[in-house]
Structure 1
Amino acid sequence: MRDKLDEILEKSLSILLGLMVINVLWQVASRYLLNDPSAFTDELSRYLLIWVGLLGAAYASGKGMHVAIELLERKLSEKQKRFQQICIRLLICAFALFTLIIGGTRLVVISFQLGQTSSAMQLSLGYVYLALPLSGVLICFYALSDFITLLKNNHGAS
């Protein structure tokens, strides 16, 4: 399941990034070649960047490409390293749960309830903010998946 999710995320991120590039190119072309700047492209590129950034963070977290300080890890025994990795995965999951999933969901709900829309595209901002809980769910999935793998390996090593 994890491999399939990675594949879906890779394709989604590629599409979003491609749309963002096309959007920015259109903005430049309409501004400098046509002398008639497009009204929505600046806003759309901002929202696409939010989605690419948050989904990209979830993807990087799943691939273990996130920033890590390994100074302490180098000095630990294998058993201590596994314990440290288990604690890190639990902290990542807790952060994603409380900040991204719970906080992000509240933001989405409030945005829809208040009817907040973007100025140029008249898009409900709730759709933009959906990137928060979605990336939180993905980060939690990856962290829990790693946690289960670490527990299995820990019991196998015991």
Structure 2
Amino acid sequence: MSIIVRGIDYINWVIKYVIGITLGSMAVIIAYQVFSRYVLGTSLSWSEELLRYLMVWVVFLGAAVALREKSLIGIEMFVERFPETIHRILKVFSYIVCMVFFIFIMYKGINVLESVSNQRSPAMRISMVWAYAAMPIGAFFMLLNSVAVLIEMFRKE
């Protein structure tokens, strides 16, 4: 089981670098867009569209990493009032519910990909599949990270 967790952690390590490179690229594009607009007097036609799509990717990938690191916002005030055994059961139950939700998002996301496969983005003229693929791919990584968290929860018992 620890091989699975280490594999998922390696994937998260790669995702963190992808997120960092993406955020850095976004900063450069924004800076150039501002420079181009206010200094050169021209505007990039594709920058806002690209930044919007990159932001969606960063959000979905970042949510997956945050889930693994248990950095997502949660309300545990109610749950922490229970004894430790019930507290663990409720946590396992909540991760299982989340996993079902992630599978649902993956399924619906793949359906969306099929419906937008013939569409092109207005400014960049790329397939909209690239923009919408963040949803099922991000949900897949969230599902993987939920599995890793559950494995660690059961390994500690």
Scaled by the length of structure 1, the TM-score of the pair is 0.91
Partner of 2:115: 110
When the two structures are aligned, how many residues end up with a matched partner?
A: 151
1:11-26 equivalences under 5 Å are: 11-26=17-32
- Contact 1:23-1:44 at 8 Å conserved across structures: no
- Contact 1:117-1:125 at 8 Å conserved across structures: yes
What SS does the corresponding residue of 2:73 show, helix, strand or coil? coil
Partner of 2:8: 2
What SS does the corresponding residue of 2:122 show, helix, strand or coil? coil
Higher RCO, Cα 8 Å, sep 6+: 2
Scaled by the length of structure 2, the TM-score of the pair is 0.92
Q: Report the identity percentage.
A: 26
CA displacement at 1:136 relative to structure 2: 0.6
Say which of 109, 130, 138 aligns to 1:127. 130
Q: How far apart are the structure 2 equivalents of 1:67 and 1:143?
A: 15
Partner of 1:59: 65
Is 1:143 the counterpart of 2:149 in the alignment?
no
CA displacement at 1:26 relative to structure 2: 1.2
Q: How far apart are the structure 1 equivalents of 2:51 and 2:141?
A: 23
Structure 2: tracts of 5 or more residues without a match:
1-6
Partner of 2:79: 73
Partner of 2:3: none
CA displacement at 1:2 relative to structure 2: 2.5
CA displacement at 1:148 relative to structure 2: 2.5
Poorly superposed stretches of 4+, deviation over 2 Å: 148-154
Structure 1: tracts of 5 or more residues without a match:
none
What do residues 5-55 of structure 1 show as CA deviations (whole Å, max 9, x unaligned)? Answer: 121011000011011111111111110010011111111111111111111
Q: How far apart are the structure 2 equivalents of 1:90 and 1:3?
A: 20
- Contact 1:73-1:81 at 8 Å conserved across structures: yes
Q: How far apart are the structure 2 equivalents of 1:131 and 1:35?
A: 34
Q: How far apart are the structure 1 equivalents of 2:146 and 2:122?
A: 37
CA displacement at 1:147 relative to structure 2: 1.8
Q: How far apart are the structure 1 equivalents of 2:110 and 2:29?
A: 28
Amino acid corresponding to residue 20 of structure 2 in structure 1: S
Say which of 17, 31, 39 aligns to 1:33. 39
Amino acid corresponding to residue 24 of structure 1 in structure 2: I
